[in-house]
Amino acid sequence: PMMVAGRLERRAGEEDRGAAAAALARRLGVPLLADPLSGARRGSTAIAHYDALLRKETFAADVLPDWVLRVGDLPTSKPLRRWLAALPDEVEQVALEPEGVWHDPDGVLARIAPGGELVEAGRTEVGWLRRWRDADEAAGFALDTELRRGLSEPLVANHLATTLPAEAVLVVASSMPVRDVEAFAPARDDPPRVLANRGANGIDGTVSTALGVAAVHDGPVVLLIGDVALVHDLGGLAALARSRRPLTIVLVDNGGGGIFDALPVAAATDAFEEHVATPTGVDFAAAAAMAGIAYLRVQAPQHLRPAFETTLLHVRTDRAETLALRRRCVAAVHAAIARPGADEASRRAGHEGWDPKTYLAFIRREGVPGYDRLQKEAVAATLGLAASSILELGTGTGETARRLLEAHPDASLLGLDANEDMLAAARERLDPARTALELRRLEDALPDGPFDLVASALAVHHLQAAGKADLFARVRAVLAPGGRFVLADVVVPEDERERSTPLSEFDFPSTVVQQLGWLEEAGFEATVTWRERDLAVLVGHVR
Ligand SMILES: Cc1ncc(C[n+]2csc(CCOP(=O)(O)OP(=O)(O)O)c2C)c(N)n1
């Protein structure tokens, strides 16, 4: 069994239900995955780093509970939400909700237990809590090491959640502040109260909310907010001058909506900055002067503490660096919990450490369950084209190349791969008279065309969204008129439960729809010729 705690309401004078949830988890001896908004991220069974942990497929698949008790709202973390939604049907998920209100967008709750009903948890298996605790602790160490390198958005969230006293209230804005606090706040016995205006996750009115909290709360009140959200409530900033209670505003200014950098829309480079990221261009020192409040440019974490008068603490960060840091943090957590053996599958299916001798057997056995079928469908999608020159991206051991040469007896093939050992293996099995092989990464410039056919199997998903969009445009440029691009790869399945290919931190599959979009943008007429579970064959015809 396990417990999951999300945002819990608490009115003045009511008992602290977060603390009660943590006490229950301790009594049951079960892991408690608690969003800081629940107030339950405390005690010896609290798990703080579930967001990063559950991004690792092998870990997520390895720690399935037999029973879940949920209190409060759903936590914000997408990986946690997905994982809960995809738990097997026989895992009963129960919401404990004394107020008769619960949140279940995925329709996975089996039962709503009103307050007071005796909740019977199954027996706790020996070592079950320890597996979670060990992973959580390893994750915490790994993150500390990453975060110590310099002032950053995750460090700001971590520092505030670690150092604010129990009597403080931390108000967090929507977008990354609420997520950073969820991902980087440690479990501690006396956490400050964390409040957020979730609702529809608006970034508006947040300064006003914090102002209201400061008006009634006796202890320090700190607001953690992004630059776009702050600009959405400059009116609230102006109102601060009329409040006699101090509010400390920690502004994380990354020049726009940093949340969007991690989304596929970031690949739309022509419109992204102006229409999605929307940097505000506001001079925040001048905004503080307008509001009549103190202003300080933050250079080090120790500046981040409650001030005695209302103050704007301005932290400048860089969006691209922040995105890279977030990814390093997740990778560091995954490396820290990697267990030899358990992770062999994902490591070998990943980018590094491929051994060409065993790769094919491995991938047939457990790596990509539909491997043979995918190969067949990829070749089928190339038929009907009189190809004399073929470019293959990610030749690997040469399996696809062999099949392509067989299907196109008049063609010669140029194969690219970033791994020398793989190319050596491919060289051994392919006809040298019809094949040339080159060591190149997909990110590198493509060889000059024109080619009649560009084909790729199980390689392009190593590129992130922007990299894929960019590659598709470069492929289009080296194709001859009437040419074709055949892309056979792992994709994000329509239903998470359809995922059957083990992924590592070097795999970034996209959805079919996203990839069709990038193909169209690159000037292809794009179609799907085959798809099953998390594998698909996409074809781009030169328009
Ligand atoms: C009222 C409202 N308008 C628009 C949005 C869409 N939206 C979500 S996050 C975001 C960007 C927020 O940027 P910022 O406050 O700087 O935080 P960051 O993403 O950089 O952490 C926007 C515009 C929203 N949630 N609410």
Residue-wise pLDDT tens digits, 522-542: 999 999 999 988 899 999 999
**Calpha distance 243→236 (Å, rounded):** 11
How many angstroms does the Cα of residue 283 sit away from the middle of ligand 1? Answer: 18
DSSP state of 462: G
**From atom 9 of ligand 1, which residue's Cα is the shortest distance away?**
175
Q: Is the pLDDT of residue 349 over 50?
A: no
Ligand 1 atom nearest 179 alpha carbon: 21
How many angstroms does the Cα of residue 315 sit away from the middle of ligand 1? Answer: 17
Q: Residue 329 CA to chain centroid, in angstroms?
A: 11
Under the banding of pLDDT at 50, 70 and 90, the label for residue 519 is: very high
How many angstroms does the Cα of residue 406 sit away from the middle of ligand 1? Answer: 53
Residue whose CB lies within 8 A of the most ligand 1 atoms, among 153, 203, 261, for a mutation test: 203
**From atom 17 of ligand 1, which residue's Cα is the shortest distance away?**
226
Closest to 496 (Cα-Cα) out of 57, 2, 183, 3: 57
Type of residue numbered 178: V
**Calpha distance 497→86 (Å, rounded):** 6
Given CA atoms 186, 187, 190, 195 in this order, what sign does their dihedral have?
Answer: positive
**Calpha distance 479→448 (Å, rounded):** 9
Structure tokens at 462: 């190593």
Could you count the other beta carbons within 10 Å of the beta carbon of residue 119? 16
**Calpha distance 501→364 (Å, rounded):** 11
**Calpha distance 402→430 (Å, rounded):** 6
H or E stretch covering 542:
strand 535-542
SS3 string, 116-182, reads CCCCCCCCCCCCHHHHHHHHHHHHHHHHHHHHCCCCCHHHHHHHHHHHCCCCCEEEECCCHHHHHHH
Under the banding of pLDDT at 50, 70 and 90, the label for residue 499 is: confident
**From atom 25 of ligand 1, which residue's Cα is the shortest distance away?**
202
pLDDT in tens, 244-298: 899 999 999 999 999 999 998 998 889 999 999 999 999 999 999 999 999 999 9
Q: Is the pLDDT of residue 41 over 70?
A: yes
CB 245 within 8 A of CB 221: yes
The larger pLDDT score, comparing residue 476 to residue 128, is at 476
Residue whose CB lies within 8 A of the most ligand 1 atoms, among 181, 208, 209, 228, for a mutation test: 228
How many angstroms does the Cα of residue 277 sit away from the middle of ligand 1? Answer: 9
**How much is the mean pLDDT over the chain?**
89
**Calpha distance 116→129 (Å, rounded):** 25
**From atom 12 of ligand 1, which residue's Cα is the shortest distance away?**
257
Q: Is the pLDDT of residue 506 over 80?
A: no
Structure tokens at 109: 């709750």
Q: Is 349 helix (H, G, I), strand (E, B) or coil?
A: helix
**From atom 10 of ligand 1, which residue's Cα is the shortest distance away?**
257
Average of per-residue pLDDT across 141-168: 95
How many angstroms does the Cα of residue 197 sit away from the middle of ligand 1? Answer: 13
The larger pLDDT score, comparing residue 113 to residue 495, is at 495
**From atom 26 of ligand 1, which residue's Cα is the shortest distance away?**
202
CB 386 within 8 A of CB 452: yes
pLDDT in tens, 459-497: 999 998 889 999 999 999 999 999 999 999 999 888 777
Type of residue numbered 255: G
**Calpha distance 45→129 (Å, rounded):** 7
Q: What is the DSSP string of 285-300?
A: HHHHHHHT-EEEE--S
How many angstroms does the Cα of residue 200 sit away from the middle of ligand 1? Answer: 12
Under the banding of pLDDT at 50, 70 and 90, the label for residue 425 is: confident
Could you count the other beta carbons within 10 Å of the beta carbon of residue 217? 18
Average of per-residue pLDDT across 134-163: 95
Structure tokens at 131: 């597996």
How many angstroms does the Cα of residue 492 sit away from the middle of ligand 1? Answer: 25
This complex has an ipTM of: 0.99
**Calpha distance 489→491 (Å, rounded):** 6
How many angstroms does the Cα of residue 196 sit away from the middle of ligand 1? Answer: 14
Under the banding of pLDDT at 50, 70 and 90, the label for residue 345 is: very low
CB 95 within 8 A of CB 4: no
Under the banding of pLDDT at 50, 70 and 90, the label for residue 348 is: very low
CB 408 within 8 A of CB 453: yes
Closest to 322 (Cα-Cα) out of 424, 230, 254, 227: 254
H or E stretch covering 400:
helix 399-407
CB 257 within 8 A of CB 176: no
Exposure of 116 by Cβ count < 10 A (0-12 exposed, 13-18 middle, 19+ buried)?
Answer: exposed
Domains of the chain in sequence order: 1-126 (3.40.50.1220), 153-316 (3.40.50.970), 354-542 (3.40.50.150)
Q: Is 468 helix (H, G, I), strand (E, B) or coil?
A: helix
Ligand 1 atom nearest 254 alpha carbon: 20
The larger pLDDT score, comparing residue 102 to residue 220, is at 220
Q: Is 60 helix (H, G, I), strand (E, B) or coil?
A: helix
How many angstroms does the Cα of residue 176 sit away from the middle of ligand 1? Answer: 8
**Calpha distance 348→504 (Å, rounded):** 9
Q: Residue 50 CA to chain centroid, in angstroms?
A: 12
Ligand 1 atom nearest 173 alpha carbon: 15
Structure tokens at 60: 């997520």
Strand pairing of 412-417 and 435-439?
Answer: parallel
**Calpha distance 397→271 (Å, rounded):** 39
Ligand 1 atom nearest 232 alpha carbon: 1
Residue whose CB lies within 8 A of the most ligand 1 atoms, among 153, 156, 174, for a mutation test: 174
The larger pLDDT score, comparing residue 321 to residue 365, is at 321
Exposure of 386 by Cβ count < 10 A (0-12 exposed, 13-18 middle, 19+ buried)?
Answer: exposed
Ligand 1 atom nearest 253 alpha carbon: 16
Ligand 1 atom nearest 227 alpha carbon: 16
Under the banding of pLDDT at 50, 70 and 90, the label for residue 16 is: confident
* Pocket, ligand 1, Cβ cutoff 6 A: 174-176, 201-204, 226-229, 254, 257-259
- Provide φ and ψ at 497, rounded to 5°: -70, -10
How many angstroms does the Cα of residue 257 sit away from the middle of ligand 1? Answer: 6
Place of tokens 């991902």: 183
How many angstroms does the Cα of residue 272 sit away from the middle of ligand 1? Answer: 14
